[in-house]
Amino acid sequence: MKLGVLISGRGSNLQAIAAAIACGALPAEIALVLSNRPQAPGLEWARQQGLAICALPSAGREREDYDREAVARLRGAGVELVCLAGYMRLLSGYFVAAFPHRILNIHPSLLPAFPGLDAQQQALDYGVKFSGCTVHFVDDTLDGGPILLQAVVPVLDGDDAAALGARILEQEHRLYPAAIRLVARGAFRLQGRRVLGTNGG
């Protein structure tokens, strides 16, 4: 399965996906890494790996106009599954419709708790005892599509957002390749909002 990985920053999930492919754990290929921020460290990492990259600055551009160009680039690269990995932009309806049930996102909380920015700090401020991460299908709501996989991470007394975020990130790096593998194998079925056949992943 040909992946398009969309990033805006560091790209550690991109690296985890690439590592899973390299060790044979994920039957997929990264066909394009696209960043809306040309300076994203993850884009430079991808370039050094010899991956196909696309820097497509989004600053000041109208959402759908931008998304039309992004979709064209992804299609041009033969992308079959879009993986948002720290991509800090809401997708337009146009983008979502272009890849029906073929867009995934990873979020550092147990959705639907704490969508949006600073999910780790939101979890600490609320006082939950467990947080974690979620891989979900993307629709045109913020962090709102059907949930594919989740992993639970306990919140410890001494945690700040950075410490909690680091432990969540370890789980993200395991969870995202596992979720992509499920989609690549077609090992799930959708029943309304419920994604069945994926638990235990």
**70/138 with CB nearer ligand GRF:** 138
> How far apart, in whole angstroms, are the C-alpha atoms of residue 18 and residue 110?
24
* Beta-carbon contacts of residue 173 (< 8 Å; ≥ 6 apart): 12, 13, 16
Q: What are phi and psi of 12, to 5 degrees?
A: -70, -30
Interface with ligand GRF, residue 144, by CB under 6 A: no
Toward ligand GRF, which CB reaches closer, 85 or 110? 85
Establish if 13 lies at the interface with ligand GRF (CB under 6 A): yes
From the CB of 25, what's the least distance to ligand GRF, in Å?
A: 18
- Measured from the CB atom, is 11 or 188 closer to ligand GRF? 11
Q: Which of 87, 118, 116 is nearest to 8 (CA)?
A: 87
How many residues lie near ligand GRF (CB under 6 A)? Answer: 14
Query: Given the complex with ligand GRF, which of 47 and 189 has the nearer CB atom?
Result: 47
Binding flag, residue 123, ligand GRF (CB under 6 A): no
Nearer to ligand GRF, 18 or 79 (CB): 18
Tallying the residues shown for the chain, one arrives at 201
- Smallest Cα–Cα separation from 172: which of 117, 127, 105, 124? 105
Q: Does 12 bind ligand GRF (CB under 6 A)?
A: yes
Is residue 36 at the binding interface for ligand GRF, with CB under 6 A as the rule? no
List beta partners, residue 2.
29
| Known active-site residue 107 | yes
Q: What would the two tokens of residue 124 be?
A: 């600490």
177 touching ligand GRF, by CB under 6 A: no
Q: Find all residues with CB under 8 Å of 6, minimum gap 6, and list them.
A: 33, 34, 35, 36, 70, 82, 83, 84, 85, 87
DSSP state of 44: H
Q: Which of 20, 85, 148, 151 binds ligand GRF (CB under 6 A)?
A: 85
**Strand partners of residue 190:** 195
Is residue 37 at the binding interface for ligand GRF, with CB under 6 A as the rule? no
Q: Catalytic amino acids?
A: 107
Residues that bind ligand GRF (CB under 6 A): 7, 9-13, 42, 85-86, 106-108, 169, 172
